[in-house]
Amino acid sequence: MAQTPPSTDSIDLAPEIIEQSPVLQRWQEEIPDVRQDIQNDPSFRTRIRVGYGDSGEGSVSVGVEDVFLGRSNFTISGDYQGGDRSSYGADLHYYVRPLGSAVNLAPVVGYRHLDETDGVNVGARLMLSLSRSGAADISVTQSWVAPGSSQEAGLTRVVFGYAVSDRLRLSTDYQRQNTPERKDDRWGIALEWLL
């Protein structure tokens, strides 16, 4: 709950210091609800990724993860993986807990094309934020492409990312694809740019 701040006269600081500090200016207008800010400021960030994977003869992957839709709990993600077993798709997520939570869960709905099937992609994502700044996190996603059809495929994906600077992260990616015909395991490494 925000409170009325004290007047400028009661702050024992030089006016020049207050003029140069956006934080002090904000606190003079209204004392913010810091707990609310911590709960609702996302503990993970939008990421653009470029990577390389070992799906057979090797493949290049590109994608964008968790583009926030306004100040809502909705995000969208999309990716493309080349190589002999190419795939691409886009998903919508809705994080059910406040975005500042260290542990969050999101239903996943989207479209995915795999080399053997394509269709609606539904599932869930677990996001474990190891750092408030998005410097490190682990995500686990389980989804099904074309559920209920004869070409249904299950996808399990685990991604671990760790920042090497304030804008760049390295991430590792493991993906298991289960189709009626076969099971595929893919490993990859990517460079992610944090937005």
Give pLDDT, residue 2: 52
Give pLDDT, residue 56: 63
Rounded to the nearest angstrom, the gap between the alpha carbon of residue 155 and the centroid of all alpha carbons in its chain is 18
Give pLDDT, residue 153: 94
Per-residue HEC secondary structure of the chain comes to CCECCCCHHHCCCCHHHHHCCHHHHHHHHCECCHHHHHHHCCCCCCEEEEEEECCCCCEEEEEEEEEECCCCCEEEEEEEECCCCCEEEEEEEECCCCCCCCEEEEEEEEEEECCCCEEEEEEEEEEEECCCCCCEEEEEEEEEECCCCCCCEEEEEEEEEEECCCCEEEEEEEEEEECCCCEEEEEEEEEEEEC
Architecture (CATH level 2) of domain 47-194: Beta Barrel (2.40)
Give pLDDT, residue 116: 82
Give mean pLDDT in consecutive 10-residue pieces for the chain, a chain of 195 residues. 54 81 81 77 92 81 95 95 88 95 96 92 97 89 94 95 94 91 89 95
Q: Break the chain into its structural domains and give their ranges.
A: 8-32, 47-194
Output the pTM of the full model.
0.80
Give pLDDT, residue 59: 87
